[in-house]
Structure 1
C-alpha cells in the first residue's frame, strides 16, 4: 500500500510539464493579463490581489511573473515590513488601507493583514484578545472593501512540509537568496515543527492535555 507522500509524488510527476511547455503557457497567460489590465483601465476598476501562503511557497515568484509585462504605472506590489511603533498604536488595518488601489490600479499584496492570523500570533506579537478581535473584524473589513468598489481576490499558496524544508535549505545555500531566510523565519518554522511533534504526542498519549498544544499556523 502506497503512502500519502508517494501518491502526492506520483500525482506531481504525472501533472508536470516540460520547461518549453511551461514557457509557452506562461507567455499566453501573460498576454491575457495585459489585455485584462487594459480592460481594468477602461473601466476604472480597482483590483486588489492578496497572496498568502507558507514560507517558500512561491509568492515572490508568482507575483513576479504576473507583473512582468504589466504597465508599471498602474501596477503596484505591496510587501510591508515589520510594523512601526506608530502602526502598533493605530487601527490594525490602517497601514494596509493606505495601500489600497485607486481607480484603474492593479495592486498585489505579498502577505497582508492575515499576518495577524498566523505569524503574529505564533510569534507572540499580538495578544490572544487581539488575535480573536482580528477574526471578528476581518470579514467586516473585507466586506467594506468590496462595497466600496474594490475587486478583492485572495490566493493561498501551499506546499508540503518536506518541499518547504527543501526550498528553505536551498535558499540558505544560495547567496542570491539568503536574504529571504530571516531569523524570524527560522524561529517560526522551528516553533511550528515543535508544535507538530507535540500534536503527534497528544494524539498517541492521553497524558498530554489539549491545553498543552495550540494549533499550528495555517500558512
Structure 2
C-alpha cells in the first residue's frame, strides 16, 4: 500500500508496464490456521499512485498466469489485477474521455461504486496508440474534476488525429488503468472554466520503506 511511481520512463517490457496485484500466499490444504478450508490467502493492496510517467511499448504477457497465457491488450500500460473479484486500488475505474477538441479535452470520472469522483486528479497523455487503451507515452497536462466528476483540460499544439488517453487518481492516491483512446479533433470546443491545479502526490509514509520490484525482459 501507499506506493508512489512518478516521473519515470517505463517502456518496452515483455509484460505489463506497471502491474498492481493483490498478493497471494499458497498453502497446503489445512496448513493455514486462519483459513483451514482453503489453500490460498489474498492480501489487499490499495493507495498506489502513478503520476506523470511515460509508459509505452509494453506487452501483455502475464508472468503470474499459467504458461502460454496472454492477457487482453487493454492492460498493457497499467494493470490492476484482481483475485476472486477483489481489485487493487479500490477498483478505481478508468476515466472516460468524452471529447478531445483542438483546445480542450472533456471527460468524466467515477469511483468504483458508480458515483462521481469529485476532486480527483486527471492526467492526459499522448498515447503510443498500439492498443485501444493507452499507453500514456507523453504527458500533456493535468487537472482536477468538479463535484460531478467532470473535467476539462485545456490543450494546445496537438494536431488533429493525435491519439490521447488519461488516468484518474482519487484523493486517497488510487490510480486507475488508462482510459480508452480518443483522437483529437480539428475543431475547437467551448473554453473551459479554470479548475484547480492537481495537488502533488501524497508522500509515502516515513515509517515504512517500499522498494520496487524491477523485472527486466
Question: What range describes the TM-score normalised by the shorter chain of this pair?
Answer: under 0.3
**Which protein has the larger Cα radius of gyration, Structure 1 or Structure 2?**
1
Which structure shows the higher helix fraction? 1
Q: Which has the higher contact order (CA 8 A, sep 6+)?
A: 1
Which structure shows the higher strand fraction? 2
